[in-house]
Chain A
Amino acid sequence: MSFPDPSETFRQEARELLEQLELGLLDLEQNPANDDLINSTFRALHTIKGSGAMFGFTAVAAFVHEFETAFDQVRKGHSPATSELIAVALDAKDHIHKLIEQPDAPQAGGEGILEALRIVLTAADIEAAAPVEVETPEPVAAPATAANGRWRIRFRLPGDALVYGTNPLLLLDEIKAIGPCTIVALTDTIPPLDVIDPEVPYMGWQVDLTADDPRAAIDDVFLFLKDGMELSVEPLEAEAVAVQPEPEPEPAPVATPAKPGKAPKAAKSVEKEAPANAERAASSSMRVDAERLDELMDRVGELVIAQARLTQIAAMSSDGNLKTIAEELERLSSGLRDTTMGIRMVPIGTLFSRFRRLIHDLSRDLGKEIDFITSGEDTELDKTMIERLADPLVHLIRNSVDHGLEPAEKRLAAGKPAKGTVRLSAVYAGAEVAISVTDDGAGLNADRIRAKAEEAGLLAPDAKIADQDLWQMIFAPGFSTAKEVTSLSGRGVGMDVVKRIIDGLRGSIDVATTPGSGSTMTLRLPLTLAIIDGMLVRVGNGRYTIPLAAVEECVELPEGIEANARGRNFLDIRGSLVPFLRLREVFGTKAPAEPHQKVVIVSSGEGRVGLVVDQIIGNNQTVIKQLSKLHSSIKSFSGATILGDGTVALILDTAHLVQFGQGYVDQGRAA
């Protein structure tokens, strides 16, 4: 479920965002009044903060939060983007970069940069009525209140912890944040050098901590590691505190060259099988350019086509050897095709698991207890799409927790359990996939959204608007109904990012909400990046593919219907009337019709339509290829695919045809 190294994923993402930030700042210097630039800069910051917190880069998140707060003055128009400001902001960007690249090295100067930022902003705007409320987050928290409790914590990490990206130093930092402490490394179980597996944490640590009962806080630190780790937290007697004559491990183990043959065995027995598995998992994944995968897919497509030709020739030949080779090649190429298609598909569960930490942190920061329930983790989507969904989902989940779920007292007063629930689910729905984030919170507040929309000038006062349209207002840039700015949400960036990314994926967002019992945000995305099962049909001389997911059933077109077709293009499917479209007419086919035509009933949303075809050829796996701009205006087709014999077949856009069918039938009736 876990990624081999989530923090590396974050780093890569952050590097890109920082680049974007830098370019944005530089552009802004040239063009200080450009709102788009200010907004995109702000968004980059916001995303770095969000994912930084998600991956445990707390120092980054804290710093960026301060940076963001200051920069918010610019966005709100309280301060102009002067070149001094840009200079400081660039310094700040470099600082973030350092924090991300070397999270372990102590980074001084962050406070200074923030101070400079504030000075620049205040200097630029003396009138700024409400100076930014600054509370400085200490990277390492101030000494804890009571110093009378002394605790000894000993822990060893699970064997695969490093492989999954755990950084022991961060854990120690978190412990350090609980209270003043002394840390001693336990090196007694480190094996001889020649059998050391660099990915296994052989060391343990002992921390003597001064704090009031820290057990809950310690539990938090190790929340995601508890399985398989050794952890003990014990109160320390006053006398024992004085000195730490910790069993300083004999320096022997590391230095001694182990006798080959004996030592490895011993080491193995200590380490169990875990490291071996972990090592395999780590080495078995790599990053490949998506373009190269596309190229591979094209090559395989060519191979399959060439193979189909060979099979055809072999079938006509009487040469037994040729037939054998053709069969063998057919088997191999179909296997290769399946594998290649599979490479790009990733279960969405890999993405879902990333959000557990997010929910945990949100829960802690906001003091809200949350049940996080996921379903449909095995729903497979194209990898590039999954990656692009990460940001929108972070925003949606954060929104649900922060705005949706009410504080415990309010929930109890409303007769709901104190613990809120956030559900994340994915499901295939026809030729699309629906991913929803559901909370059982207060639901959207229509009056407040309305007021806010009017205030922001998005909606004329007293204008009538359907609920569904009103909900869509929350996706407008700069829209936020949160009364106070928290570190999580409320700045009004986020939802517009969500909207833009989803639009970019040719998807849509549905909002459903019930006052008092919660809301659901559903992302609907087309499966066009993927490979679909198709039903191949023939109309005249042309062959077309219908996405199988949209097909409900196939029936014979009753013969008598031909005679009185005009105005009566309806079929009686078990008591309900379904309009039907003659694809021959829609496509202007001239070839003679088959005497026995078939009807493929397809559905889209709530609508259904029958498509009359000459012949149903069968099922096939369909690699969707986009049509060029030259054909993008023809809405009956969502793409094209290449058939086994090398010819091109068009893929019918069922959603469009269902809609078109409705109009076509109405027209027929009117005529």
Chain B
Amino acid sequence: MSTTETGSMKALTLRLQDELFAIEAGSVREILDLVPITEVPNASPFVSGLINVRGRVVPLADLRVMFGMDRPEPDEDTRIVVMEVDIDGEPTVAGILADKVHDVTDIEAASIEEAPRVGMRWRPEFIRGIGKRNGGFIIIPDLGRIFETQGARTASPAASEERSAT
């Protein structure tokens, strides 16, 4: 886990349903209000859409899918966090849907704990750690792994779908 010398992690906190998440502020490029989303037919629900970010076509991911959360329609608090993620070693710009974006904050490294292997609603491999702040928990997702799993998963059905060389 990358922490600064002072032993804290600069993170953007955002809310997905009723849970607070923290993602590393350094990889965030910008935060957008909701923009028109183009649905990609037959794509997995996790990355079912595309958005236009300043003339670039950027995939939009919904982490709520990976954490098995409800997905109500977007409201006035909904934001898109545009960030750089590594997908199989390739830096890719992707958007992440957030129900609400809070602030940028320092999370003390000492307060971050390993995700417990049991007693959790979510797959532990998607979580890098759990931090504490103001008495509540902040989930630090492992975005690299979430996106990579995504790549591996969509690759397998693709293999059965032969593509003609034209």
Contacts and interface: CB of A to CB of B under 8 A. Distances in A.
B6 interface: no
Chain A interface helix/strand/loop/mixed: mixed
Contact of B88 (A586, A629, A631, A640): A629
B41 A586 contact: yes
A629 B163 contact: no
A648 interface: yes
For chain B, which range describes its interface: under 10, 10 to 19, 20 to 34, or 35 or more residues? 35 or more
Given A625-B57, A629-B92, A648-B57, A634 B166 contact: no
Given A630-B147, A630-B150, A542 B88 contact: no
Nearest to A647: B36
Interface stretch (A104-112, A164-172, A294-302, A388-396): A294-302
B94 interface: yes
B41 A630 contact: no
Interface string A637-655: 1001110001111100001
Interface in B134-166: 147, 150-151, 154-155, 157-158, 161, 163-166
B36 A298 contact: no
Interface in A530-587: 541-542, 586-587
A631 B155 CA distance: 10
A489 to B, nearest CB: 27
Contact of B52 (A542, A587, A630, A646): A646
A650 B87 contact: no
Interface in A299-339: 299-302, 305
Contacts of B150: 630
Contacts of A305: 52, 55
Interface string A201-212: 000000000000
A432 interface: yes
B53 to A, nearest CB: 10
Contact of A647 (B38, B42, B165): B38
A43 B51 CA distance: 43
A588 B166 contact: no
Interface string B92-133: 111000000000000000000000000000000000000000
A448 interface: no
B166 A637 contact: no
A633 B154 contact: yes
Given A542-B39, A630-B147, A633-B154, A302 B163 contact: no
A542 B38 contact: yes
Contacts of B161: 635
Tell me which of A300, A604, A630 has the highest count of chain B C-beta atoms within 10 A of its own C-beta: A630
Nearest to A297: B55
Contacts, number: 103
A640 B50 contact: yes
A388 to B, nearest CB: 19
Interface string A585-611: 011110000000000000011000000
Given A634-B43, A656-B164, A628 B87 contact: yes
Nearest to B58: A628
A15 B56 CA distance: 34
B61 interface: yes
B66 to A, nearest CB: 13
Contacts of B56: 298, 625
B42 A302 contact: no
A630 B47 contact: yes
Contacts of B90: 629
Nearest to B151: A629
Contacts of B42: 586-588, 634, 636
B96 to A, nearest CB: 12
19 contacts: A298-B56, A305-B55, A587-B42, A604-B166, A605-B166, A627-B57, A627-B59, A629-B88, A630-B59, A630-B92, A630-B147, A631-B50, A632-B158, A635-B163, A640-B57, A646-B35, A648-B50, A650-B40, A656-B163
Interface of B: 35-36, 38-43, 47, 50-52, 54-59, 61, 87-88, 90, 92-94, 147, 150-151, 154-155, 157-158, 161, 163-166
The 9 closest A-B pairs by CB, nearest first: A587-B41, A633-B158, A301-B55, A648-B38, A298-B55, A655-B166, A633-B154, A302-B55, A625-B57
Given A633-B157, A634-B42, A640-B50, 17 more contacts: A298-B54, A301-B55, A432-B166, A542-B41, A587-B42, A627-B59, A628-B87, A628-B92, A634-B40, A636-B41, A637-B40, A646-B36, A646-B52, A647-B52, A648-B38, A650-B40, A659-B163
